[in-house]
Amino acid sequence: MFLARVLGNVVATVKDPGLAGQKLLLIQPVDGAGRPVRTPLVALDAVGVGPGEMVYYCRGREASFPWLPATVPADLSIVGVVDPAANPNLQARP
């Protein structure tokens, strides 16, 4: 799994039926100090997060498992939220 900050939402009207009703989020992967690494990505939300939050995501086929038995064509999904109080390097941003 990997750390990222949620940058915002992505809206797509035309999409695979398996993505219907799914929230698409733009995320910026970060390192252990919260600094951006790599290019932003689009992930599905498996836990209910919002812009600015520091999260972690899963990638690959496993990323679709939160929605089993539904078939969701996801290769990136947000699976947790980092607690700001316990991780001073990884603060949420408004």
Return residues touching other proteins (CB under 8 A): 1-3, 31-32, 37, 46-48, 56, 58-66, 68, 77, 79-83, 86-87, 90
Q: Which is nearer to other proteins, 14 or 88 (CB)?
A: 88
> In whole angstroms, how close is the CB of 63 to other proteins at the nearest point?
6
> In whole angstroms, how close is the CB of 14 to other proteins at the nearest point?
26
Quick one: how far is CA 29 from the chain centroid? 9
> In whole angstroms, how close is the CB of 22 to other proteins at the nearest point?
14
Q: Which is nearer to other proteins, 26 or 80 (CB)?
A: 80
Residues 35, 6, 76, 85, CA torsion sign: positive
Long-range contacts of 12-19 (CB under 8 A, 24+ apart): 16/73, 18/70, 18/71, 18/72, 18/73, 19/44, 19/72, 19/73, 19/74
